[in-house]
Amino acid sequence: MWKEDSYSMHDKMYVATDCIIFGFDDGVLKLLVFKRRIEPQKGALSLIGSFVKLNESVTTAANRVLKEITGLQNVFMEELKTYNAADRDAGYRCISIGQYALIRIGEYDKTLVEKHNAIWYPFDELPELVLDHDQMVKDALARLRRKARYQPIGFELLPEKFTLPQLQSLYEAIYQKSMDSRNFRKKVLSFGVLIKLEEKDKSSSKKGAFYYKFNHEKYQELIAKGINFEI
């Protein structure tokens, strides 16, 4: 027979979720961080996270955090891994489930971000973060790079319409290396998942570059056929 004492006799611990929120702006991959509000290390830079409430799932908690900080919903978010070292948080025994998200940096609510003292840091200028958050960021970037090789996941970071140079700039930021423009253009167009628009972006040259849109339906058709999108 079940007895309540069988639960109460065991040690308690907290469950948290930490969000690794990537954005892309002016050719730079960025990460959203804020100043930690609680001890230990109060005031130090931290990923944005929260303890999971008793009435919510970890996924629900992560989406709540994202909405509270950025005002965004229904963006790409994926569970990363569980961080469970016994000494990872000096404040109390706590495990954290990392979630990484990709958002279009021009669409978030700037007032909310400022209200929570959150900061967009260029990835290559990121300072040391609290606890094991540096490892979380490292793991999330490795996951992003793996997925970007086989899926057009980068489109989650771009505006609805974009140029091929902007798309190439994104992939160069993710992989932190330069790519040959001619080969990149040939490769991405060969997939048939981009819709060319008549409109041009003339902000960087008089000739300009055509805008494109991502064709989600065509992508789903090709995925069903087992097409590999490695760039």
Q: pTM of this prediction?
A: 0.87
What CATH number has the domain spanning 158-224?
Answer: 1.10.10.10
pLDDT grade for 4, boundaries at 50, 70 and 90: low
CATH class of 5-148: alpha beta
What are the tens digits of pLDDT across the range 163-211? 999 999 999 999 989 999 999 999 989 888 899 999 988 777 677 899 9
| Selection from 24, 23, 35 nearest residue 118 by Cα | 35
What are the tens digits of pLDDT across the range 199-214? 988 777 677 899 999 9
Question: CATH 3.90.79.10 region(s) of the chain?
Answer: 5-148
The residues, any chain, with a CB within 8 Å of residue 11's CB and separated by 6 or more, are 93
Q: Would residue 215 be called left, alpha or beta, if left means φ above 0 and alpha means ψ between -120 and 50 degrees?
A: beta
The residues, any chain, with a CB within 8 Å of residue 135's CB and separated by 6 or more, are 83
pLDDT at 45: 93
